[in-house]
Amino acid sequence: MTSKFGHSFFAIALVFFGLQHFLYLMPLHGPAAGPPWILARPLWAAVMGAFLLLIGVLLATRRMTQFAASLLAAVLFLYVIFLYVPGLVRHLHDPGRWTSTAELTCLCGVALVLAGLGSLGRIFYAVPLPVFGVQHFLYAQFISTLVPTWIPYRLFWAYFVGTAFIAAAVSISTKGQARLAAILLGVMFLSWVIILHAPRVAAHLRNGNEWTSAFIALAMAGGAWIVAETSSK
């Protein structure tokens, strides 16, 4: 069941990211308003948007899955190596760059799993998770402000989630209770979509960053469950 939902969530997120590339083509909005990987030049942004739409549809319909996932993994890997790592090296203390690089690496890992490279994909998905974990400790006070006010002990949850990320990374990469860890990680991401991101999107419907964050969390949830399926094998 988790595998079915995982594939659907991941594909839906890709389709949405593709649509966002067209929505934020014009300089009026700027690349920062949409997904972090939108290219500044409209032509290339349109090409990437069409690519993500196609890949998302193929994955959603389970057609040419390995081929589509292989292409996606290759493109995301090139993005990470040539567009994000150089900027990260130049701005090591910029948490936003660490987050974006880690997110794309995780999504690349999911694509590798779908392409049939389960072991490599799990590593690509698991290795960036401590980045999120460490950030939850370094910026715990800020992260606690993102937790809805109706949830008590908000600072505790910032530390708890940071610990969960690191524990999941160790478990998935070492195959120690990897399936359970990946399933729980997916549940955590999906709970954020419902509890945290959906209300923020509803309150800021014109904010591209809020939409992107919501669908990144959805893609990460789907990806975790896809990784869980591979771990069980």
pLDDT tier at 37 (50, 70, 90 boundaries)?
low
Residue 63: how many CB atoms within 10 A of its CB?
10
Q: What's the pLDDT score for residue 233?
A: 55
Using alpha carbons, select from 212, 226, 26 the residue that is nearest to residue 106.
Answer: 226
Both tokens of 43, joined, read 């032509």
Query: What is the rounded end-to-end Cα distance, in angstroms, of the chain?
Result: 15
Instruction: Quote the CA–CA distance of 21 and 47 in Å, as a whole number.
Output: 9
Question: What's the pTM?
Answer: 0.91
Instruction: Quote the CA–CA distance of 155 and 157 in Å, as a whole number.
Output: 5
Q: In the predicted model, what is the mean pLDDT of residues 158-172? A: 96
Instruction: Quote the CA–CA distance of 137 and 227 in Å, as a whole number.
Output: 25
State residue 37 phi and psi, 5-degree precision: -100, 10
pLDDT tens by residue, 52-87: 999 999 999 988 999 999 999 999 999 999 988 998
CB 148 within 8 A of CB 196: yes
Query: What is the H or E stretch that residue 225 is in?
Result: helix 208-232
Share of the chain above pLDDT 70, in %: 91
CB 116 within 8 A of CB 226: no
Both tokens of 37, joined, read 């990987």
Q: What's the pLDDT score for residue 154?
A: 94
Instruction: Quote the CA–CA distance of 88 and 131 in Å, as a whole number.
Output: 13
Q: 194 CB contacts (<8 Å, ≥6 apart)?
A: none
Supply the range of the domain harboring residue 211.
Answer: 2-232
Both tokens of 62, joined, read 């389970």
pLDDT tens by residue, 102-120: 999 999 999 999 999 989 9
Question: What are the C-alpha distances in Å from 43 to residues 48, 83, 104?
Answer: 9, 17, 21
Q: In the predicted model, what is the mean pLDDT of residues 173-193? A: 93
Q: What's the pLDDT score for residue 121?
A: 95
- Domains in the chain: how many in total? 1
Instruction: Quote the CA–CA distance of 137 and 204 in Å, as a whole number.
Output: 27
